[in-house]
Chain A
Amino acid sequence: MKDDALYFWNGPLPETQAPANAPAPEPWAETKVVGKPVTRIDAYDRVSGSAVYPSDVILPDMLHAAVLSCPHAHAMVKKVDVAAALKMPGVRAILKDGDVGTNIPWFSGRGGFSSRLFDAHCRYEGDEVAVVAADTIYQAWDAVRAIKVDYEVLPQVTAVADAMKPGAPAVRDGGNVIPPGQPYARGDVEAGFKAADVVLEHTFTTPCELQNPMELHGCVAKWDGPRLTLWESTQGVYGVQTGVARALNIPLANIRVIGHYMGGGFGAKLSHGKYSVMAALLAKKTARPVRLFLSREQVCLSMGNRPANTITLKAGVKKDGTLVALQSKTVGSGGAYSDGGTGGVDYVIRELYACPNVRCENQNVYIHAGPERPFRAPGHPQGAWALEIMLDALAAKLGMDPIALRLKNVTLVSQTRNGNPKYTSTGFADCLKNGAQTFGWTEARARKPLPSHIRRGVGVAGGMWQGGGGSPPATAIVKLFADGSANLNMGASDIGCGTKTWGAQIVAEELGVPMDRISVEHADTGTTQFATPSGGSKTVPTESPAIRSAAFDVKQQLLGMAAEQLKLPAADLELRGAEVVSKTDATKKVALGQIQAFSRRGLLVGIGYRVPNPPGTAVNPFGAQFAEVEVNTKTGEIKVLRFLAAHDSGRILNEKMFRNQVFGGVTMGIGFGLTEDRVMDDGQLGKLLTVNLHDYKMPTALDAPADKTIVIVDPHDHAFSNTGAKGVGEPATIPTAPAIANAVFHATGLLLTDAPMSPARVLRALEARQQAAAGQKRGK
């Protein structure tokens, strides 16, 4: 399986060849701008409210559109009567199955399965039936409600366990249980378990989570003759361009996708949506721009999720803490349309700790629910939940400190990749050690519990992310203007990670141009360079070396021109601020504005390409997180008192933004561990019950601990790219929930295996333990 590949990119990755013998920059030593806590260059736009997000785009004559979603978990659409709706005030167009131009293939899957834009066979509550464009958004929804649909409601199944039973309503032809692929296996797990001194087995469950970024999914579509412009809330404008071009069968050159600002994605916006195509079709039909954004309820229903998983994990360990065998069986569902449901779950189990005997089986199942979309570190929080809690259970059995157990099994090589390549750097051990020291681990673990029903405890969990090392393709262009100001042009979207800012910082570092004299263009298929979608913690490691190469290219050209003019070798010259100066004789210099060849050219253009990481290496980010909790054993309430995140993401490009993102990942992990859970009406109507932001519970300001610390582990990895920067978006959220669970374990002795750890689950576990103890007493 291709872990290194971008999991959301279909097909082979394009290779980008760098020019042969191109000079490459030396690794940075001391940096002046890179790494510093520079204020974001678009801070003004965002805090002033002047940044125009796709949902803010207002065009003259623009129409507003709304989607009619199927209210049933499983139904056939027999008839769609739009006659009354068409006559309603302000309604300009309605599209439904059978209308011209709507026969567009959509989801495709196993066995040649294919659905369509408006598929009469609705396979989950939320499947699209029709779309209305009207003068106002209120009129659009009035018309949606006036569309009369005859549904044949069919039996449905939304619980994975029920879907696996014989006789369950069939979500797809060929049954609900997808024939599993080859399990992953290395070594001999049975022999491993035999050789182990301690073997434990637990079944863990994790919730189905909804990304629910703050900006709703949608776009504004406008045609100019044959050319379409889409302002879309997306993580990748080129992905949208490709998807919509294919759907509408128009040349790529005729679609421009603009995605300058976007209100969050977390993986839910890595590709276009039906709304992209619907808006374009409506805009064509009405000859007016169309804004189509889904409602929050529709986003909850149909814009992606992290599948719930059941993971049975068996682990064997020697007395001295050496892991000898790991075996996992994972079950999950990607909904009705995805063939997945367990992707990425076993990665940390296979890779994070040294273990010679490993076997991982995955079982994917169809249910009548919305399709999964990659959600920040797909599979990894689930795998870490099982693995890291298991490690603490093993540590307890061995009487070993949980950190010592982890340190015992740190590996310097990738165990799953062909040839077991060495990591160019792994700061995992340092994350554990330095994090523990800063956290005050030893003292906190040794603290005697007070005689109170409120128990305190501390826990740790480790993690790594399958991506985050970067790869081609990426192209960046840096322009140096005659006055020494610069422009950076790149395709990558800024999904909240400060992409434009660190990009500018790299240009500033390489060329000495002050930050306020650098402009950045990005995320526009009409005007900027190619980039794959921003996600998977790939943007920093992929784009940063390309940007540096582009800036370096400019510098080489400049030095070459100055060398000719000064009659000195280029190697003797360096760029200092707005001058080129001889390294050996400071009196020999020329101001940028005085370099004649530069003035004649008017502009210098540097191009940077992302070259592949060195073959035979593995590049991954690592982390360890620590939590202190307070558990009220009377009410089951868990309070996270303080939290520490220690991360190796290589070189940090901007410390302020890095810390912000790590805290953000931790907050999301708190949701996974304590509050988030998609609930469906299993066994009755199969509808989504957590269909709004009250019932689907994302962490608020009062759920994020006030006391949060970050420890940065920078391994100074110069081996894999010219910036040495790895990704952090995903690593930041992988170990959070199990760190909290392990703290609860330390505080109470309860090994909680089911996330989220709501008061209900804590109370059930407490009661079960009480009854078990009572039963034992009685047994005597």
Chain B
Amino acid sequence: MLRTFAYVRPGSVSEALKQLEERGSRIHAGGTDLLGCLRDGVFEATKVVSLAKIDELRGLTVAPDGELRIGALTSIAELAAHPAVAEKFAALAQAASVVASPQLRNQGTIGGNLCQRPRCWYFRGDYPCTRKGGEMCYAVGGENQYHCIFGGGACVIVHPSDTAPALIALDAKVRILGPKGARVIPLEQFFVLPEKDATRETVLEPGEILAGVLVPPAPAGQASGYRKVRARGSWDFAMAGLAHAITIKAGKVAAARLVLSGVAPVPWRLQAVEKLLVGQKLDAKLVARAADAAVAGAKPLAHNGYKVPLVRGVVEDVLGAVPAA
């Protein structure tokens, strides 16, 4: 059962930011990750700052030019069901629909999904690991079947979010509010590799809050999707997943953004593969080359070598199904 904490429910972002200045304050959006982390003792909360009353963080709107504006408190279920998302931003709708379970999708928010802590069982367990400020990473020499094959360093987690790779494939930006005001950055730059800082997953500074996500209008002819491979049909995080946003013009790839989940401490953009595809006809030979390129440079750990053929397989599976014209 949870340890005690104070609770406050501010009515505005500025009030919330003020509350978050206090050390040990934690944001409660949907609460699905917060409560799990508190139960496992990943971190402590002396005060829980609920965002429930902050209407400015809500809302899912489509601007006249087609830009999708998603308030951070938009629930995952809403994203999965919204007709505008399904129609133009299929990758996001598909990713949202495979997050967790129906009940958690009703409760969880897009902000929370992007800011969630990793699922590494050492991080979540009673282990003083590097990410929690400790001395060592227990996964490197331990049970690392679910850990990363790219981007690892002092820590070898995989980023658990499904919506993040989908949004990066869709070239999304995030709006961050803080004591110094607002800033908008590409979502791709929101996440932090262990080599830079192994104790956090995002660039959010203390006292900052993720306020919303902006997805640019979908280019004409863009096809997008999200494929997730996991052990069970529900609840589980990705063993590996692929978000794609590909535009075909005149039988050739005009634009491609490909982002892997479940393989790196951050959503893993496959820029080398994208370069390979652009300007080419997406035939079986190209797909095979793309699959090879996707795993180039992979550094598997003792127990997760299967992720190399898995990524290859997912890339082939997904690219092989993209309509050629």
Contacts and interface: CB of A to CB of B under 8 A. Distances in A.
A246 to B, nearest CB: 32
A572 interface: no
A142 interface: yes
A767 B310 CA distance: 11
Nearest to B309: A763
A766 B1 contact: no
B232 A687 contact: no
A702 B98 CA distance: 12
Interface in A132-149: 137-138, 140-142, 145
A73 to B, nearest CB: 12
Contact of A634 (B126, B142, B306, B313): B313
B314 to A, nearest CB: 6
A636 B305 CA distance: 13
Given A71-B126, A635-B310, A636-B310, A689 B121 contact: yes
B162 to A, nearest CB: 15
A758 interface: yes
A5 to B, nearest CB: 37
A137 B234 contact: no
A138 B141 contact: no
Contact of B306 (A695, A699, A763): A763
A634 B138 CA distance: 30
Interface residues of B, number: 33
A761 B235 CA distance: 21
Given A689-B121, A695-B121, A763 B310 contact: yes
A181 B38 CA distance: 48
A699 B234 CA distance: 9
Nearest to A125: B126
A203 interface: no
Contacts of A186: none
B286 interface: no
Interface in A621-646: 632-637
B232 A700 contact: yes
A182 interface: no
Contact of A635 (B1, B119, B138, B229): B229
A141 B235 CA distance: 27
Contact of A687 (B119, B126, B304, B306): B126
Contacts of B121: 679, 689-691, 695
B306 A759 contact: yes
A675 interface: yes
B125 A689 contact: yes
A760 B232 contact: no
B103 interface: no
Contacts of A632: 313, 317
A689 B143 contact: yes
Interface string B99-132: 0000000000000000000010110011100000
Given A636-B306, A763-B309, A138 B2 contact: yes
A701 interface: yes
B171 interface: no
A766 B309 contact: yes
A685 interface: yes
Nearest to A144: B1
A697 interface: yes
Contacts of A763: 306, 309-310, 313
B168 interface: no
Contacts of B312: 634
A719 B275 CA distance: 76
Given A685-B127, A697-B236, A759 B143 contact: no
Given A145-B3, A634-B317, A758 B231 contact: yes
Interface residues of A, number: 43
Contacts of B239: 759-760
Most buried by B among A637, A679, A683, A767: A637
B4 A700 contact: no
Interface in A35-91: 66, 71
A633 B312 CA distance: 11
Contacts of A766: 309
Contacts of A21: none
B10 to A, nearest CB: 25
A636 B313 contact: yes
A767 B309 contact: yes
A142 B4 contact: yes
Contact of B310 (A145, A682, A759): A759
Nearest to B227: A635
Contacts of B122: 681, 689
A636 B231 CA distance: 10
A760 B233 contact: no
B213 to A, nearest CB: 26
A637 B239 CA distance: 11
Contacts of B306: 636, 759-761, 763-764, 767
Contacts of A694: 119, 235-236
B138 A759 contact: no
A494 to B, nearest CB: 28
A763 B295 CA distance: 15
A54 B83 CA distance: 46
B292 interface: no
B141 A684 contact: yes
Contacts of B12: none
B231 A675 contact: yes
B199 interface: no
A683 B236 CA distance: 26
A703 interface: yes
B232 A703 contact: yes
Contacts of B33: none
Interface in B25-48: none
A142 B2 CA distance: 8
Contacts of A66: 1
Nearest to A64: B1
A256 to B, nearest CB: 30
B202 interface: no
Given A142-B3, A635-B314, A637-B229, A679 B234 contact: no
B88 to A, nearest CB: 27
A702 B126 CA distance: 31
Contacts of B234: 700-703
Given A138-B1, A763-B309, A684 B126 contact: no
Interface string A289-331: 0000000000000000000000000000000000000000000
Interface string A387-405: 0000000000000000000
A137 B1 CA distance: 7
B208 interface: no
B78 interface: no
Contacts of A687: 125-127
Nearest to A690: B121
Contacts of B317: 453, 632, 634-635
Contacts of A635: 229, 310, 313-314, 317
Interface string A484-511: 0000000000000000000000000000
A145 B2 CA distance: 11
A453 to B, nearest CB: 8
A691 B3 contact: no
A634 B143 CA distance: 24
27 contacts: A71-B126, A137-B1, A141-B1, A453-B317, A632-B313, A632-B317, A634-B312, A634-B314, A635-B229, A635-B313, A635-B317, A681-B143, A689-B121, A689-B122, A689-B125, A690-B121, A691-B121, A697-B231, A699-B232, A700-B235, A701-B234, A703-B232, A759-B231, A760-B239, A763-B310, A766-B309, A767-B309
Interface of B: 1-4, 119, 121-122, 125-127, 138, 141-143, 145, 229, 231-236, 239, 304-306, 309-310, 312-314, 316-317
Given A699-B232, A701-B233, 14 more contacts: A142-B4, A634-B317, A635-B229, A635-B310, A636-B313, A679-B143, A685-B127, A687-B125, A694-B119, A697-B232, A700-B234, A703-B232, A760-B239, A760-B310
Identify the 4 closest CB pairs spanning chains A and B, nearest first.
A702-B233, A634-B313, A760-B306, A700-B234
